[in-house]
Amino acid sequence: MLARLAGPTTLLVACLALLGAAPPPDVPARLLAAARRDDQAFRRLTELCDGFGHRLSGSRALEGAIEWARATFAKDGHERVRTEPVTVKRWVRGDELATLVAPFRKPIGVLALGGSVGTPRGGLEAEVVVAKDEAGVRALGPAAKGRILLIDAPMPPYDEAKNASGYGAVVGYRYDGPRLAAEVGAVAFLLRSLTERSLHTPHTGATSDADAPRRVPAAAITIEDAALLHRLYDAGRKPVVRLKLGARDAGTAPSANVIAELRGRERPDEIVVIGAHIDSWDVGQGAHDDGAGVVMTIEALRLLRALGTPPRRTVRAVLWTNEENGLAGAKAYAEAHAAELPNHVAAIESDMGAFRPLGFGLEMVDGAKEAAAVERLKALMPALQPLGATRVWPGASGADIIPLKRAGVPGMMLVVDERHYFDFHHSPADTLDKVDPALLAEGVAAMAIMAWTLAEAPGRLDR
C-alpha cells in the first residue's frame, strides 16, 4: 500500500496511521512554507548577535541575551514563559599576547583556553618543544621540563560520506593538554587550533586540569603559527616564545535557563523538548555556536503556535546557559524537572550551526532501546523529505541533554552539513555575516517539523 502513496507527507500520514492515528497531512508543508516565507529568523539572529555580541557565562551580555529571549518568547504568546535560576562559573580571559622571540621575532595569534590560569604578571619566556600526540609528549620526558609544550595535531579532514569532521580525534588534546604539560614539567601549554582551515584565526574552547599535579597556562594558537613552530623545532632552531595571559577564575555568578511552552491538546504532561545553548565563548558573536540554534528554537515554537492547533503533546523550548564552560544549565534543568523526566518523550538540541539540514541524531543509554527507537524514528522521517533531511544518526545527541539522556530520555540533535562548522567554531570569525539566512530558515523548518511529528505521534520513541 505504501508504495502507491503520492509523496512524503502522505507517507508520513500512513506511517503514523499504522501507529494508531492520522494527523493533518499538510502540517509539515505548512511549517516549511512558513519558515521560508520571510527573514524573521535572520532578523532575530541579528538582534541577538548585534545586540549582545559574545555571551560568556557570568557576563552582562549573556544576562541581557537571556532577558531578550524571555521577552521574545512572551511576545510570541507562549505559555509558561519563564527563567529558571542557574549558578554558573565566571572565567575572565584578560589580556593575552604571544610572540616568537627567537630565532626571529614574530607575533603569534593566540587565545587562552577556557578555564586556564594566567601566566605570572610579567609573562613567561621559554623554549618550545613540540609533540604530535600524547605518546610524543611522553617521549619528550625531561626535555620538556621548564619549556613550553606545543601539541601540533592537525584535525583530520571532513568525511563527506559520514558527514563527520575530525574534531573528535583531536578535542581530547584541548581538554587534557594542560595536564600532560604539567606531568612532563612544562611551564605552559600551547595547542594547534582545532580546525581544518585558517586565515590566521585562533580557536578557543574549554580545557581541564583537574587531575594535573599543578596548573599551567594554556592557550590555542593558529594553525599557521603551530606549523611554523613545529618546522623550527624539527630543524633544531630552538624556537622561543614569550607568553602573557591574564586569564583567571572569578568565582560564580547568577544566570538562568529560559523556558517557554506550547501546551499539548491531549497529553499536555508529555513533553517534547527543543533547545539550544544561549551562552557562547567570549570571541566573535556566537552566531553559529549557538545563536543559530537559539533562533531555530524560538522560531520553531512560534511557527508551531501559528498553526492554530497544538499537537497532542506539549512542546517545550529550553535555552540552556553555560554549555560552553560547565553545563550548569543542563544539570540544573535535569534537577529542577527530575519528577517529570519520565514524561519527556524526547529532547532535541540544535548546536551545529546554520548549515544545510541533513537529518537527526538519536542516542539513548540503553543500546537495545536506542536501536528500537532509531527504527521508530526512521518511520517518521518522510516528513522531512522536502528538506532532504531524512537521515538518522544513531548514537548522536547534544551536550545539554546529556543529563536527560542519563535519565532515560531519548536524546536527539539536528544534524547539518558540518564541513565548514569548524572553520568558525569558538573563534573571532563566528559572526553574523557567516550565516546564510536561507539555510537558517531551513533549520527552523527542520526543528519545527520534527518537534511537531514527535509531539503528534500516538506512540513514543522509547516504548
Q: Could you tell me the end-to-end alpha-carbon distance of the chain, in angstroms, rounded to an integer? A: 26
Please choose, from the candidates 417, 383, 291, the residue with its C-alpha nearest in 3D space to the C-alpha of residue 25. Answer: 383
3-class state of residue 310 by DSSP: coil
Distance CA 143, CA 140 (A): 5
Please choose, from the candidates 207, 250, 249, 212, the residue with its C-alpha nearest in 3D space to the C-alpha of residue 113. Answer: 207
3-class state of residue 265 by DSSP: coil
Distance CA 358, CA 439 (A): 11
375-382's contacts with Cβ under 8 Å and 24+ in sequence apart are: 376/459, 376/461, 377/461, 379/15, 379/18, 379/19, 380/12, 380/15, 380/16, 380/453, 380/454, 380/457, 382/8, 382/9, 382/11, 382/12, 382/15
If one counts every other C-beta atom within 10 angstroms of the C-beta of residue 140, the result is 18
How long a stretch of residues is the chain? 463
> Quick one: 447 exposed, middle or buried, by C-beta within 10 A (0-12, 13-18, 19+)?
buried
Element (H, E) at 174: helix 167-183
- Taking phi over 0 as left and psi of -120 to 50 as alpha, with beta for the rest, 198 belongs to beta
Distance CA 399, CA 205 (A): 14
CB distance 414 to 348 below 8 Å: yes
The partner residues of 391 in beta bridges, in order of sequence, read 359
Catalytic residue, chosen from 323, 349, 363, 456, is: 323
- Concerning whether 323 is annotated as a catalytic residue, the answer is yes
| Residues assigned a catalytic role | 323
